[in-house]
Each structure stands twice: as structure tokens, then as C-alpha cells.
Amino acid sequence: MQPKLPICFFDAKTGILCGNCEARLAKGEISQAEVDASKAVAQLSDKVVELGKVTLKRAYEAKGGYVLEFDPSDLAALRSNPMLVEELENHLKGRVWVVGAGGSERKFLEDIFFPAKVLTVNTVYLPDGEKKTKVIVPARRSERRIGDFDKLREAVMRARGIDLLVETEREVAASLYS
């Protein structure tokens, strides 16, 4: 099985772009993040079988964090292997968030925070008129996927242009009752 990628599978596997993919990168039709993510998926696809069947649609990189957008029908398989994200992170040498391509802002954020639950998504306007998207997550800080909020914010801004604020249930309660 071969994953479907923004670049040729052969290029991704060997790490060397063909003339066509090189030209598409130069024209900005594909990004360097998509080339890097394609290489990671292709080169891991022998070892991580779930990656052999996926369709990588787009990839975004910000400060060493990657958002990888797969076909939404791939998410169940991708999440079935608990080591998969770690393998991608080791290969890309950065944090990786796996999401479904397309879909609403809420769905995107639920994928980003998975397996943590997104309790509330609100649009908030700061006094200066700046618009932010506030996400409230459960108070349990043990979830591995949340915790690196700065990297997360950068990656989410790059991928969807969402200016993210993250609060835990406990912080919300504290501000209500203090």
C-alpha cells in the first residue's frame, strides 16, 4: 500500500524531488512543510502500516510544530496506533498534530486537542478589537497532547488563521468565583 501525498510517492520515499514536484514547490503550489511531511509519511509507511493507506492533503509548519491534514476518513486508522504521532514527531523532529482536512473550525479544534475533549469554543474580542478563539478544555493536565500551548497556538494560526486562547475548566471556574 502507498499513501497518497502532495508529492510523488517515489520522491517522498527517496527524498529527492522530480522536476515536476520541484517546479510545483518553486511556484508555491506545494509547501516545504508538505514536502517534509510527505517524506515522513512515505518513509515510515513500511514500519507504521496505518500510514500506508492514508491521504495526506496538506501540511503546515510553524516554529518546528506541524499540523498534518489527512482525509477525514483516515482519522480512525491514524488514531488506532498510539505510537503513530510519536513516530512522525521523531521523523520530523517537532510536535505533530493530526487533523481531518476541511470541516468546521470546531471540528478542526477537536482534532487538534484529541484525545482531550473540547468543552467550549467561543469567539472573544479583546478591548482593542482583536478577535480570538477561546477553547475550554477539561482541567486534567495529564493529557499529553495539550500542554505545549505556545507551539500549538503558532501551528493553529498557520494552518487555519485561528488566533487561539486556551483555558482549562479550572481556570474558568477560578475567574468566575474569585
Q: Is the dihedral of CA 93, 98, 102, 103 positive or negative?
A: negative
**Beta carbon of residue 15, minimum distance to Zn ion (angstroms, whole number):** 12
Residues 7-66 that bind Zn ion (CB under 5 A): 8, 11, 18, 21
- Asked if 133 and 163 touch (Cβ cutoff 8 Å), the reply is yes
d(CA 131, CA 135): 13
Residue nearer to Zn ion on the CB measure, 16 or 124: 16
Return the C-alpha cell found at 60. 503546515
Strands 131-137, 120-125: pairing is: antiparallel
Stretch that binds Zn ion, among 5-13, 114-122, 139-147, 165-173 (CB under 5 A): 5-13
**Beta carbon of residue 20, minimum distance to Zn ion (angstroms, whole number):** 5
Q: How many residues does the chain have?
A: 178
**Beta carbon of residue 35, minimum distance to Zn ion (angstroms, whole number):** 10
Residue nearer to Zn ion on the CB measure, 13 or 107: 13
**Beta carbon of residue 7, minimum distance to Zn ion (angstroms, whole number):** 5
To 10 degrees, what angle do helices 84-92 and 32-44 make? 130
Residue nearer to Zn ion on the CB measure, 21 or 156: 21
DSSP state of 5: -
Residue nearer to Zn ion on the CB measure, 11 or 74: 11
Contact between 165 and Zn ion by CB under 5 A: the answer reads: no
Residues near Zn ion, by CB under 5 A: 8, 11, 18, 21
